[in-house]
Amino acid sequence: MQITRNSIETAPGPGDWFTGTVYIDAVAAPSEPSRVQAASVHFTPGARTAWHTHPNGQTIYVTEGVGRAQRRGGPIEVIRPGDRGSSSPVRSTGTAPPPTAS
C-alpha cells in the first residue's frame, strides 16, 4: 500500500467553473493509466456550478448541507446528505440557481 500525505491546500473554485464562493480539496489524483480522481467541493450558500459536461461521466456524493441539482432541460431536484448522482458523458450538468424569495 502506498500512503500519500496530503500536501495540497484548499483551493478556491475557478470563476469560470462556479458562481459564488466554492472551495475544492483534492482527495485523490489519478495515476497512469487510471483517470479516476476525487475532490471534496464545498459550496457556500447561493454558489453553483456553471453548465458543463463530463467527457467520461461523473458521480457526486452529498456529504453535508442541502443543494439543488438539474440536468439541462430537466426538473430541479433537491439533494441531501447521502444522496448520490451520476451523469453520463453526453449530459450537461449544473447546480440549479438559488430559489427566489417570495
Q: What is the pLDDT of residue 75?
A: 85
pLDDT, residue 89, reads 59
Cell numbers linked to 16: 469560470
pLDDT in tens, 13-35: 999 989 889 999 988 877 888 88
What confidence tens digit (pLDDT) does each residue in 44-101 have? Answer: 888 888 877 777 788 889 998 888 887 777 888 888 899 998 876 554 455 555 555 4
Type of residue numbered 86: S
pLDDT value for 99: 57
Q: Which CATH number among 3.20.20.70, 3.40.50.300, 2.60.120.10, 3.40.50.1370 corresponds to the domain 11-95?
A: 2.60.120.10
The C-alpha R_g of the chain, in whole angstroms, comes to 15
Task: Quote the pLDDT of residue 14.
Answer: 92
Where are the alpha helices (H) located in the chain, listed in sequence order? Answer: none
pLDDT at residue 92, rounded to an integer:
47
